[in-house]
Amino acid sequence: MNKIQRGALAALLIVIVVIAALAPAGIGFLFAQRSQQHDEAQRLNTVADAALFRAEDVTRRLSGALGEIGKVAAAPCSPPYLKELRRIALTHVQVRDAGAYDRDGRWQCSSLLGAVSAGVLDGLTLPPPDWRSRDGVMAWYGLARLPGGKTSLVMGRNGFYVAADPSLYVDTLDANDEVASGVAIINTDVSRVIATTPATDANAILAVYRTARSVPSVRDCSPYVVRRSVSMPLAVVVSAPHQTLRQRLRTLPWGWLLGGVVVGVALASWAAFFFVRRLSPRGQLSDAVRRHQFIVAYQPIVDLATRRCVGAEALVRWKHHDRIVRPDHFIPLAEHRGLIQAITDQVLDTILLELGDFLKRYPEYYVSVNLSAQDLTTHRFLDVLGPAIARQGVRPQQIHIEATERSFLDADAAKEVIGAFREAGHAVYLDDFGTGYSSLSHLQNFRIDGLKIDKSFVDTVGQDAASSSVASHIVDMAATLDVQVIAEGIEHEEQAAYLLARGARFGQGWLFSAPLTAAEFIRYVGRTRGA
C-alpha cells in the first residue's frame, strides 16, 4: 500500500472518530427514524395482508354461492327455484340477494322480492358488466338500483346472480385505526375500485395503485403499501395516516439516542482497530487470504536433452491492487502468521481448477507444489491432497512435492510425513539444495526422489568463481544416490549445455520459458511435444 493510500485511510479514520465523538445523538436519531419507518412498514404490511385475505375470502364465498345457484335443477324463477335461492342466500351470510335475469339483462326474480310479476323488479335492467372473466363470470361494482335499495356488488353468470354489500371486503378493518387511514380493494384486470373504507378517496388511491411498488422497504417513506393476489384479479392498497412532525417525534423510539452514543463510540473503536490492522502487512495478507487474491504461475520443467516439457513448478503470486507481489515479500510473513497453509490449499485448488483436465488427459505430465514447514510436520495437507486429486481424476504421480531445508526443523516429523507422501505416490524433491548448512545430513536422513540445484550455483557455471563447480558436484552426488536432478534458474545456453554434459537431466529457467499462465503453459506443452 503506497503513502497516498495510507494517508487516505488515516484521514478516513480521523473523520469517523470525529463523527462518533461529535454527533452520537445524530446517529441515534437516524437509527430511531429508521426503526420507526420499519415499524410503520410492518404495521402497514400486516393490515394489507389481512385486507387481501378478507377480499379473497369474500370473493371465494360469493363465487361458491354463484356455483350453487348454477346447480339448481328447478326452472328459473319457479317457486322451487326461489326456495333454493332463499336457502342459498341464508346459507351464505355474505350474500345479500340472489336472483335471475334474462339474456337482455332484465331482472326476472329475486330471493328477497320474488318474481317480476310482483311488480317491484319490472323494468330493472343490468348495465354492461364492469368485469368479465374468461369462464363467463361477470361483475358489477356499485349498482344502486337493486332489491333492497342499497348499493351492491353483483356477480352473475349464465342468467343468475348474487349480490353483496361491498363493505364486506373491508368491514373487519377499523376505520379509526391509527395504522391505516384508507384501504381500497381493486380489480386488477380493469383497474376498478371494488370497495373502500369510509372517507377514502377512491381516485387518489387508484392512482397510487397504478404507480406503486408492491412493498415498501425499511428506508422507503412512501405512505402506502400495495398487495396483489396471486390467485385472483385483486389488489389491496393501504395508505398510512398523515402525521405531523410533533406526532412523528412523539412516536420515535428515543432509546436509540442513548444507544447512538454507544454505537458511535463502538464504531469509532472498531474503525480504528480495523484500519490500523488493514494498514499492517499482516492485515493486508490476511485480507488477501480471505479474498482468494493468490494466483498461480507455472514454470515449465524441461528435459535438457530433448527440450521437451515434462512438467511445471507451481509458483504462487499475490495479486494486490493490480500489481504482483513477489513470493519472498509475503511467504515468510505468511509462515510466521500461520497463513501459509491456507495459501497452499488455494494453490492446490487453483492447479486442479486450471490444469485438472489437462493432467487427467496427459498423465505423463506433473506439477510440483512447494510445501511449508507446517505441512511437513503433519498429515494435514496429504489428507487434503488425496481426496482433491481423486475427485479430479488426477494421479498421485502427477503432483510432486517440493520442500526446502527450512521445512526440516522437526526432522523426525518431517521424515515420517515425507515417507507418507512417497507411499501415497507423490515424488518428493529437496528444493534449493546446497544453500543450507545441513544439506548433506538431510540426504542421509530423508528418502527423497530428487534434488533441485539452487539458481545461485547455476549462475556461476562457466565462471571463475569458488562455487562454479558446485553444480557438477551436486549432479555427481545425485547420481550416486540414484535421485533425479533439476537445475533451477537456467538463463543461458552455455549453462544448459554444461549441466547436460555433467549428467543433469532436467532444468527450468528463462532460457526455456518465463512463468506462464495455465493457458500459456498448455500451449507451451503443445509446442514442445514434438521436440
Residue 512 identity: F
d(CA 179, CA 449): 79
Task: Count how many residues are written for the chain.
Answer: 531
Domains in the chain, CATH or no CATH each: 1-279 (no CATH), 289-528 (3.20.20.450)
- Strands (E) in 473-513, as ranges, are 484-487, 506-507
d(CA 401, CA 385): 11
Q: How far, in Å, are 271, 366, 429 from residue 421 at the CA level?
A: 45, 15, 11
d(CA 15, CA 199): 51
Query: What pLDDT is recorded for position 379?
Result: 92
Give the strand pairing for 152-157 and 192-196: unpaired
Residue 483: all three cell numbers together: 535421485
d(CA 142, CA 446): 96
Residue 445: all three cell numbers together: 536422513
Contact 65, 92 (CB under 8 A): yes
Q: What are the pLDDT digits (tens) for 109-166?
A: 889 888 876 555 556 788 899 999 988 999 999 887 665 567 889 999 999 999 999 9
Query: What pLDDT is recorded for position 215?
Result: 46
Q: How far, in Å, are 129, 332, 344 from residue 322 at the CA level?
A: 68, 22, 21
pLDDT in tens, the chain (531 residues): 555 555 665 666 666 666 665 666 566 666 666 666 777 778 888 888 888 999 999 999 999 999 999 999 999 999 999 999 999 999 999 999 999 998 888 888 889 888 876 555 556 788 899 999 988 999 999 887 665 567 889 999 999 999 999 988 887 655 445 555 688 899 999 989 998 888 788 888 888 888 865 544 434 455 788 889 999 999 998 887 665 556 455 555 545 456 666 666 666 666 666 656 655 667 778 888 888 889 999 999 999 999 999 999 999 998 877 788 888 788 888 888 888 899 999 999 999 999 999 999 999 999 999 998 888 889 999 999 999 999 999 999 999 999 876 666 677 888 899 999 999 999 999 887 766 544 566 666 778 898 888 888 888 886 655 556 778 888 888 888 888 999 999 999 999 999 999 889 999 999 999 999 999 999 999 998 865
Kindly list the strands in the beta sheet with 182-187, ordered across the sheet, starting from the edge strand earlier in the chain: 192-196, 182-187, 234-239, 224-228
Q: What are the pLDDT digits (tens) for 220-270?
A: 455 788 889 999 999 998 887 665 556 455 555 545 456 666 666 666 666
Q: How many CA atoms lie within 13 Å of 314's alpha carbon, on the beta-carbon side?
A: 29
Among 301, 397, 384, CA closest to 346: 384
Counting beta carbons within 10 angstroms of the beta carbon of residue 519, is it exposed (0 to 12), middle (13 to 18) or buried (19 or more)?
exposed
Q: How far, in Å, are 92, 184, 189, 214, 296 from residue 57 at the CA level?
A: 12, 15, 18, 21, 63
